Amino acid sequence: MPGSSATSVDTAITPEGIEAELASGFPRMRFSQSLEDHFETETSEERGRSNAVKLAVGLLFFDLFIITDFLIFPDIIQLAFLMRFAVVTPVMLATIYIALRHPRPLTRELLLVFNLWVLSSGVGVLIIFGQNPLKDVYLNSFVLIILFATMIVRIQFRSAVLGAVIFTVNYAIIIYYSSMADIPRVIALAFLYIAGIIFTLFAAHNLEREYRTNFLLARLQNMRNQELKSASVHDALTDLFNRRGLEEDLLRLQRRVSAGMGKPYHLGVIILDIDHFKNFNDRSGHQAGDECLRAVSRALTETLRSGTDRAYRYGGEEFMILMETSDDNQIMAAAERIRLSVLNATIAHPDSSVGPHVTVSVGAAHAPIGVVPAKAIIEAADSALYLSKANGRNRSTLGTVTEDLVQQIAS
């Protein structure tokens, strides 16, 4: 049946599983493995596109700093050109390309950290080989780079920690080899750098927690909405689809026909009614009647073809099945399977003229919707059901969608 689907959902990706994750606070900045995989699947494509744009903007600003290189490092301007345009730029462009190809999470994060190392090393080379006493102002760019990585690109917190460690090692190496004579100034810059790194890591931690929390809340809200929608189209007693679900499926089929540029869909309709159900309720009580309805729904569900047929509770003790068929024998065979399945369930009936067990009367009809309205097929099946009742019940009858019936429905 079009529109039906079967999905296998891991227990962690349920409302209860998501609520457990939210309650835990995911202190390691990771979800359970199945939910983490789902998180990466849902977010990696958008993150890849976003990272590519942000890296491109970051690269543009990095290369624009060639202007300050002319002011600070006129003695090594050729080296500055080499580092910015022959080393860092190609690496960043390669990263942008890979980001757009949705790499594995570990590859993506390690590549971003590697870019941090390349950026900081590129700046470090200029500081080491430059002779201008003002070159130490470039040390501030380290904090700028890590801010860009955590606040703009938003690398994961673990990657930010790794990047900070690599940055700090680079920072120490650069200071050691840069021969800066103003020790108090170097110490002050180092303290500013350490404070900047610590504050940035705190911010990165909070940003990722917020991002992951919002992801979970959005998934949870979506699941709750799906549950509400499912409840609105299902019968609470039998768990079959209800009249609203029937109307939605018929509308979906009509749209399918329209989208197929007039190609008809051969709709088969089977309607069944429990024989003497009022007598059953009067003698056994409504609680037993409810259990009877559940037992009949289970019996008819067992006969359905998975993925193609769909069952509905059509009325009090009436049920309907929609299926795709254009063959009289096929739809009558399906009707008989349903009738016999209910009979073989041997549900005791205290007051039936048919026999000691619950039976059903069945009516069936089929026709191509797009040629005739679905309502005409339902009316034909309903008329056939009443013929089954009139002819002694516990039987199946095939109805016909006549031109008169179609005109009557149209009028």
Same domain, 279 and 213: no
pLDDT at 144 > cutoff 60: yes
Q: Name the DSSP letter for residue 245.
A: H
73 occurs within a structural domain: yes
Question: In this predicted structure, what is the pLDDT of residue 102?
Answer: 82
pLDDT at 7 > cutoff 50: no
Here the CATH number for the domain that contains residue 357 is 3.30.70.270
pLDDT at 124 > cutoff 50: yes
pLDDT, average across residues 323-328 = 92
User: For residue 72, what pLDDT band results from cuts at 50, 70 and 90?
Assistant: very high
402 occurs within a structural domain: yes
230 occurs within a structural domain: no
pLDDT, average across residues 325-333 = 93
232 occurs within a structural domain: no
Question: In this predicted structure, what is the pLDDT of residue 2?
Answer: 44
Same domain, 60 and 204: yes
Determine what percent of the chain falls in helix, strand and coil, rounding each to the nearest 5: 70, 10, 20
Question: In this predicted structure, what is the pLDDT of residue 6?
Answer: 36
208 occurs within a structural domain: yes
pLDDT, average across residues 20-30 = 85
Write out the residue range of the structural domain in which residue 18 sits.
11-224
Same domain, 138 and 167: yes
Q: How far is CA 241 from CA 9, 306, 323, in A?
A: 21, 15, 14
Question: In this predicted structure, what is the pLDDT of residue 37?
Answer: 87
Same domain, 349 and 379: yes
Same domain, 155 and 73: yes
297-310 tens-digit pLDDT: 999 999 998 778 99
Active site residues: 317
350 occurs within a structural domain: yes
As for how many domains the chain has, the answer is 2
Percent of the chain at pLDDT above 70?
A: 96
pLDDT, average across residues 55-60 = 92
User: 23: phi > 0 → left, psi -120 to 50 → alpha, else beta; which?
Assistant: alpha
Among 60-74, 81-95, 122-136, 336-350, which stretch is predicted with the lowest mean pLDDT?
A: 122-136
Same domain, 129 and 74: yes
253 occurs within a structural domain: yes
At residue 170, the 3 state secondary structure works out as: helix
Same domain, 288 and 251: yes
pTM for this entry: 0.64
Same domain, 362 and 219: no
* Closest to 234 measured CA to CA, from 223, 225, 226, 245: 245
pLDDT, average across residues 53-76 = 93
pLDDT, average across residues 343-360 = 94
Same domain, 257 and 403: yes
Dihedral angle over CA of 272, 278, 283, 288, nearest 10: 50
pLDDT, average across residues 64-73 = 94
Determine the Cα angle at 43 with ends 42 and 47, to 5°.
155
Instruction: Give me 233's structure tokens.
Output: 């189209």
287 occurs within a structural domain: yes
